[in-house]
Amino acid sequence: MHLRWPLSAAWTATAGVRYVNGAYDDPPNATLAHLRRGQVIVYAVIQRGTGFGSTPIRLDLRRARHLPCCEGATPPYPYDWELTGPVHARRYDLIVRVYFGSHPTPTLVGAAQSALARLRLPSSPGP
């Protein structure tokens, strides 16, 4: 997953997930409506610094907030985990949302964490 400045969104998913939303649809309700058990979507977006706080984001799902998900999604509701924060010394913020189609098992969490490890961020937000 590669993110580019000025504003960029990227996503990755487990096999069999067809992403049907636009790049900046948040949450991606049309896609989530078809998310099945055992499937995962990792969605990331960067934006100019908005003051999420001074603690730089760490791409570690153990630090994620667990949120109810999402308007427009039909049961079984996907599980939504979120990481937000500034990217250290890069003057922009990162929002990452992980949608699980079923209860997040260690295997599914591992797949999502692996996707986060592959996330490539721009070095700066530009002028």
3-class secondary structure for 40-87?
EEEEEEEEECCCCCCCCCCCCHHHCEEECCCCCCCCCCCEEEEEEEEE
Q: How many structural domains does the chain have?
A: 1
Model confidence band, residue 60 (pLDDT cutoffs 50, 70, 90): very high
- Measure the CA angle with vertex 28, ends 27 and 33; round to 5°: 115
Residue 127 domain-assigned?
Answer: no
Residue 76 has pLDDT above 60, yes or no: no
Q: What is the mean pLDDT of residues 14-35?
A: 83
Residue 69, in any domain of the structure:
yes
102 within domain boundaries: yes
pLDDT-derived band at 70 (thresholds 50, 70, 90) equals low
What percent of the chain has pLDDT above 70? 78
Residue 123 lies in a domain: no
Residue 53, token pair as written in the block: 């706080």
Examine the pLDDT at 52 and tell me if it is beyond 70.
no
Can you give the residue range of the structural domain that contains 97? 8-117
21 assigned to some structural domain? yes
Residue 111 lies in a domain: yes
125 found inside a domain = no
The verdict on residue 100 lying in a domain is yes
